[in-house]
Amino acid sequence: MDAYKTISKPSEPIMFKERKSKFYGYCFPVSDEDSVKEHIEALKKEYPTANHVCYAWQMGIETKSYRANDDGEPNNSAGMPIYGQLQSFDLTNTLVAVVRIFGGTKLGVGGLISAYKEAAKLALENAKIVTRVLQQQLSVTFEYSEMDIVMRLVKKHQLNIVSQDLHLKCKMILSINKSDFKKTMKLLKAHHKLEIKEIE
């Protein structure tokens, strides 16, 4: 439940040619609509002769939202085929944009759908896809004498130590997979000498 797939960095552009029209595919990691806007504007500047810069994005982890934009191409002939590829690669927090430079021959709606789909697919195949895990943090405060107990729990339950401050009074920040969070909180709270706080 905690794992989600995204891309780690912008991909190198790829070019797909269909009856003299050129389709340049790009992927970008995004976390908000402002960054989507920036990427699209940058592509429009980079390709001043482009007829269309079509795109789709999906964002969010537990609840996802998406948008598909045809940028003047016939309805649903560009944005939705691009979005379909985002879905088939099962990616979130990702923007895929396809820049089209018209080659003089009309492709028709069917031709456009398959060209945008193919350019998006090639761009995603060219991207570095990573799996990330949703985590939540908590702090554990304890006396130095409890160190062994805490370290045993950390090791046994494979908890990630984000930071530690080890003096007479010790403090540790732990990062835990979201789905295990409640269970781990309970487990740590069972040791009454440990002070546990959830970090918002």
Domain holding 180: CATH number?
3.30.70.260
pLDDT value of residue 69: 92
| Range(s) of the domain holding residue 178 | 135-199
Q: How far apart are CA 61 and CA 73, in angstroms?
A: 30
Are 174 and 124 in the same domain?
Answer: no
165, β-bridge pairs? 171
62 pLDDT more than 80: no
CB distance 115 to 16 below 8 Å: yes
8 pLDDT more than 90: no
CATH number at residue 94: 3.30.230.30
Are 14 and 110 in the same domain?
Answer: yes
Q: How far apart are CA 173 and CA 177, in angstroms?
A: 14
Are 87 and 148 in the same domain?
Answer: no
Residue type, 22: K
Of all residues in the chain, the percent with pLDDT exceeding 90 is 36
Are 13 and 57 in the same domain?
Answer: yes
- Given strand 160-166, what is the order of strands in its sheet? 160-166, 169-177, 135-143, 195-199
Instruction: Say how many domains are in the chain.
Output: 2
CA angle 79, 83, 84 (to 5 degrees): 120
Are 145 and 73 in the same domain?
Answer: no
Q: How far apart are CA 88 and CA 80, in angstroms?
A: 12
H or E element that contains 165: strand 160-166
pLDDT value of residue 54: 95
Are 191 and 116 in the same domain?
Answer: no
Are 111 and 178 in the same domain?
Answer: no
Are 110 and 65 in the same domain?
Answer: yes
108 pLDDT more than 70: yes
Are 87 and 159 in the same domain?
Answer: no
